[in-house]
Each structure stands twice: as structure tokens, then as C-alpha cells.
Amino acid sequence: MQLRISLFQKGLILVAIPLIFELVTYGILADLFNRAQEDARQALKAREISDTINLIVRDFYDMLTTIKSAAFVRDPRVRERKDEMVSQAFEKMRRVKELVKDDPGASALMDEVQRRAHEANDTLDSIKSAYDSGDIERCLSMQKSLNVKVKQIVSEELLSLARRQHEIGDRSPERQAYFRLLISQQLSLAIAFGVALTVILAIVVSKGITRRLSVLSENSVRLAREEALLPALSGHDEIAQVDSAFHMMAKALAEATRVERALIENASDVICSIDKSGTFAAINPAAEKVLGYTMDDLLGKYYIDLIAPEERDHVNRCMETLINSPSPEPFETRLIRKDRVTIDILFSAYWSREEKTYFCVLHDITERKDAERIKQEVIAMVSHDLRTPLTAVRHLHEMLVLGKAGELPEAAKTLILRADGASQRMLTLINDLLEIEKIRAGKLSLSLVEIPAANLFQSCLQVITPLAEEKSITINILDTDIDIYTDPDRMVQVLVNLGSNAIKYSPEGSTVTMSAEIKEDDVEVRIQDQGRGVPEDMRESIFNRFQQVHSSDSANMSGTGLGLAICKAIVELHGGTIKVECAKSEPGSTFIFTVPQRPARRSDS
């Protein structure tokens, strides 16, 4: 069964084996060193024992010589000298007894020596007493006995103990040299074996790791070259796991690359990369269909050569903007195909700082642009071919009502007035449609001037007063001395549209309030009515085209559903916002729009 050993465990083994060997070696060296230290201590102890015994022997012989002197029994100073010598001898014996306490034989010998020494000291005291009492004969007899006792103290056993201890001390240098040799040999052997063991383990472990890592390195190179990978590594360590994950990643990457290539090669849009010099570095096959060029034709070609001459400055500015833009936006331009046909393109690009390359998608919008041009032509046709006849019809209706063709019965006049109202609603619808399309096409321009808000409200009031009088609705304009930097005609159009709506949807006898005030850097205009309000789920969609609160409003209120959309477009063209709010506690709704006092940019198209 194959062991599941990880890299951590292999590293642990690589460290543990030399460490264990070092610990064993340290133990052996420590034992040798301790033995050498103990031998040195024993040698010092032996020398001290030998030297102390020799001193004891010398002291007893000196004492024996002293007491043989006649002065011993007569001179007090000699007696004091004797007492001092006896005390020193006993002190040395106690020291020897302490040093040999671990040796039972030597310890028993020293006990015997101490006992005889005490007997000898007692004899000395007896000699002194006999002399003091005048018993000279007894004094001489005890002196002879003292000689025997001193010889018994300095016995052959004591001298033999001194010689043995002296020999132990003399052998110490030789033994110390022996221990030093053992320690040196053991240390040299341990160093050599430790180095060899470490090198062998390092080679064995690192060779396996290096070989396996080289396989990973080779596989990474092969992956970059899109070549087949080497077989997966065996084992269960981290390197084998990384290699297994690498193979799985390579398979997933190959599958993703295949899918990506399939998407790019079958895409209907041109997908390409443009290097920092402005030449095509890569491009998909859609280029032949969209641009008429093959991939080989475009590789290395400057992309700007395909741009229509009048669009090149605009494209260059857009491409430069992409470099510093965190969220690039697509832009429209025109390209010249190989067959010299000009097409409209939606150009989406992303600048990669790492690769210094643009990654671009070119979407052909020629059909949409053609449809828009056709729509503009249709609008122009409607403007000329429908609005003009409808205006003429309204003039005919007016002439008939005024009796230019003879007096008409009341029933006929009523029918003509209804027909004239229908013509007016059709003209209003046509005008609103033309206005919306003009805004969408970017052809609505603003003529910005600074004008008092009160003047704008008064212009609006002149237009909506007749409509308010029909329903007995009061128009309340709050005093304001604010100046607005705006297009007066367009702003009056917004106010009239919102004011007319407020009147249409308010009950008779109610009040419509208009006001303006400064909010930070903006002017906020509010038109408040007391009508039925706007449902919460429609407060955003109501500003879309053809949107009304109820489907019956278009019939009952003669509305087109385009007024609020036009208001929103004009306000946003000023750089402002518009919304509607409805209070839960009060009836009605409040349309609120803001425009900057000094717009950051002016729209010229």
C-alpha cells in the first residue's frame, strides 16, 4: 500500500532524522563530558585526601617531638602550642572523614584514627596532670605509652590510604587526556555522519520534489504553447494535487477556449484587437462579411484607414478617452468597406493597460440607421403632406361656420365644429409626434437666456387661463424673484403642458398651485393640483410615450399621451430631472422638476 505522505511530512522527516541524530550525539558527548568532569572532581578529591592525611601525619610527629621536650610540662606557651596542634589535627581528620564518607572502609579507618587520636590527647592531659602533681615516674611511663599510640594513629592503613589517593590524583591527567580524545573522536564522527545523513536526505527528498516541480513547470510552458501536457504525477502530496488541479484547469481552459473561439468565429459582429500603434493585431472571420476584407487583409493594417475621413478626429478623441475611462461607452461612427460603400458602425472598445491593446466589437447598425433616416423622411412627409391639408381643412371649417358659403343650420354648424375639433386633435398629435422625433433625433436646440421665473409663470398663465375658467379652477402662482437660465419658449411649453394636465385632472372649483424655489444649485419648480393623483406603480412610467393613468383618459380628456414625455425630454435637455409625488393624507399630485441655475453644459443639438 502506498503511503500518503504530504510535503509537510516529508519536510518534517528531513528535519527530524538529523535532529534525532544530533540529540543522540549530544547525549553521548554530554555523558563523556560528565564522566570527565566527575573524574577530575575525584582526582581533586583524592589529592586533597592524600595531602590532608600527610598533614595529619606531619602534625602528629610534630606534636610528638614537642611533647618530648621538657618544656612541655613546664612552659605554658608550649602547652598552648600543643592544644593548637591537636585542634588542627582533629579538624583535618574531620575533613578527611567528610571526603571519604562514600568509601565505607576508609570511613571506618578514619573513625579508628579519630578514636586513637582522642586517646592520645587524653594521655597528654594525663601526662600534664602527673607532672603538675609531682609524679615524675608516672609521667615518664605515660610518655612511652603515648609513643605507641601515636604510631597506632599513623598506621600503615592510613599511609596506604594516602598513597592510593595520591595515585588516583596522579592518574587524572592521563584519564582527562583519554576523555578529551573520546570526545574529539565522537564529535568528529558525529559531524561527518550528520553532514552525510543530511546531504543524503536532502538529495533524496529534494530530488523527488525538484523532479516533480520541473514537471509542473514544463506543463505550464506546454499550456502556454497549447501543447499536450505531460502525464499526471503519481502520489498524494501537495505537488500531485496541484498537478491534478493543473490538468483539470487545462481541460476547463481548453473547453472554454474552444467555446470562446466558436463564439468569436461564428459571431456576426466584428471582434478584433488593436495594438497601441493602431494596427489590427487579431480579428474574427466576420470582418469579411461586414467590412469586405479578409482577416489577412486587415492584420497589420491601421484601423483609422477604414474610418470615414470626416469621422477620424471624432474616433481618435473617443479612443483616447477610453484609455482613462473606467467605464467606456460605445460610440457610433462610419466605416468604408473594401467596395467603398460607407456603413454605420456601433464601436465598443476596452483598453487593456497590461497588454497595451484595445479589444473592440464593431456592430453593423447600417440597417437601423437607414430605418431612422426613412423614419425621418416619413416624418418630414407627414409634416408637409398632412399638417398643411389639415390646416386648410380647419380654415374651411371656420369659413363655413362664419357663413362665407351661406347661412348654415345650427345642426350643420355643430357637425362642422366637431369636425374642426377632430382636425385640431389630429394636428396636436402630429405636432407632438414631430416634437418627440425631433428630440430623439437630437435636432432640438435650446436658446438659453437668464429670465425671471415669474415671467415664465405669467406666459403660462395666459395660455391655460381659458381652460381653468371653463372648470372654475383657480390658478395660484406663488411670488418668486428667482431667475432661471433656460430656453423661455421650451420652459413655457413644459409649464403649459403640466398646468394643462393639472387642470384636466382636477375637480371643478379646485386650485392649481405653481411655485419655484432654490434647492442647492438647482431651481425646483412645483405644479400641485387637487385631482385624483397618480398610482404609485405608474409614477415613473407615466413619463413614457403614450402612457396615461387610465386607458379612458385619451378619449375623455383629448390627450395624446405624449405631453409628459415631451416635458421630460426638455427638462433633461436642460440637465434637470422630473418626477411626480402624491401625499397619502391629501388628494392630488405634485409634479416637480429641477433645472440647474447655471447648466454645466449647453445642448446645441
Confidence of residue 362 (pLDDT cuts 50, 70, 90): very high
Q: What is the pLDDT of residue 202?
A: 73
Is 564 a residue whose pLDDT tops 50? Answer: yes
Per-residue pLDDT, 406 = 76
In the predicted structure, residue 462 carries a pLDDT above the cut 70: yes
Q: Has residue 561 got a pLDDT over 80?
A: no
| pLDDT value for 555 | 44
96/62 Cα distance (integer angstroms): 19
Residue 361 has pLDDT above 90, yes or no: yes
Q: Is the pLDDT of residue 503 over 80?
A: yes
In this prediction, residue 251 has a pLDDT band, given cuts at 50, 70 and 90, of: confident
pLDDT at 425: 66
Which helix (H) or strand (E) covers residue 124, if one does? helix 104-133
**Per-residue DSSP letters for 581-596?**
E--SSSSS-EEEEEEE
pLDDT (tens digit per residue) in 257-280: 777 777 777 788 899 999 989 999
Higher pLDDT, 443 or 317: 317
The predicted pLDDT at position 4 comes to 59
Tell me the three-class secondary structure of 454-468, residue by residue. HHHHHHHHHHHHHHH
Long-range (24+ apart) CB contacts under 8 A made by 106-113 are 106/161, 109/157, 109/158, 109/161, 113/56, 113/153, 113/155, 113/158
**Region 274-293 average pLDDT:** 91
Count helices and strands (H / E) in the chain.
17, 12
- Which percentage of the chain shows pLDDT scores above 90? 16
Using the predicted structure, report yes or no on whether residue 137 has a pLDDT greater than 60.
yes
* Listed range (108-112, 354-358, 576-580) with the worst mean pLDDT: 108-112
Give the tens place of pLDDT for each residue, 31-81: 888 888 888 888 888 888 888 888 888 877 777 666 655 445 556 676 677
163 against 473, higher pLDDT: 473
Most confident of 40-54, 114-128, 395-409: 40-54
Query: What pLDDT, on a 0 to 100 scale, did the predictor assign at position 312?
Result: 92
Neighbouring CB atoms inside 10 A of 292's CB total: 15
- pLDDT for 605 equals 35
> What's residue 306's pLDDT?
93
Confidence at 138, pLDDT banded by 50, 70, 90: confident
According to the model, what pLDDT value does residue 551 have? 46
β-pairing, 511-519 with 474-477?
parallel
Indicate the range of 57-61, 312-316, 339-343, 495-499 predicted with least confidence: 57-61
pLDDT beyond 90 at 172: no
User: What distance in Å separates the CA atoms of residue 295 and residue 286, rounded to the nearest whole number?
Assistant: 9
Mean pLDDT, the chain, as a whole number?
Answer: 80
In this predicted structure, the answer to whether residue 374 has a pLDDT above a threshold of 80 is no
Residue 533, pLDDT score: 81
Residue 127 has a pLDDT of 75
Classify residue 53 as left (phi > 0), alpha (psi -120 to 50) or beta. alpha
Answer left, alpha or beta for residue 190, where phi above 0 means left and psi between -120 and 50 means alpha. Answer: alpha
Structure confidence at residue 554 (pLDDT):
46
- Tell me which of 111-120, 140-149, 190-199, 494-503 is least confident: 140-149
In the chain, the largest separation of any two C-alpha atoms, in whole Å, equals 202
Q: Residue 75: its pLDDT value, please?
A: 62
pLDDT-based confidence at residue 547 (cuts at 50, 70, 90): low
| CA-wise closest residue to 575 among 490, 481, 461 | 490
Choice between 455 and 408, residue whose per-residue pLDDT is larger: 455
Q: Grade residue 380 by pLDDT with cuts at 50, 70 and 90.
A: low
Residue 552 pLDDT > 50, yes or no? no
Hey, CA dihedral for 367, 372, 378, 384, is it positive or negative? Answer: negative
Residue 302, pLDDT score:
92
CA distances from 373 to 309, 343, 602 (A): 21, 13, 26
Residue 433: count of CB within 10 angstroms of its CB:
16
| Percentage of the chain exceeding pLDDT 70 | 84
Which of 21-30, 165-174, 388-397, 506-515 is predicted least confidently?
388-397
Which position has the higher pLDDT, 206 or 248?
248
Contacts of 241 (CB under 8 A, 6+ apart): none
**Taking the alpha carbons of 24, 30, 35, 38 in that order, is the dihedral positive or negative?**
negative
Query: When comparing pLDDT for 118 and 270, which is higher?
Result: 270
- Residue with the bigger pLDDT between 78 and 92: it is 92
Looking at residues 432-457, what average pLDDT do you find?
A: 78
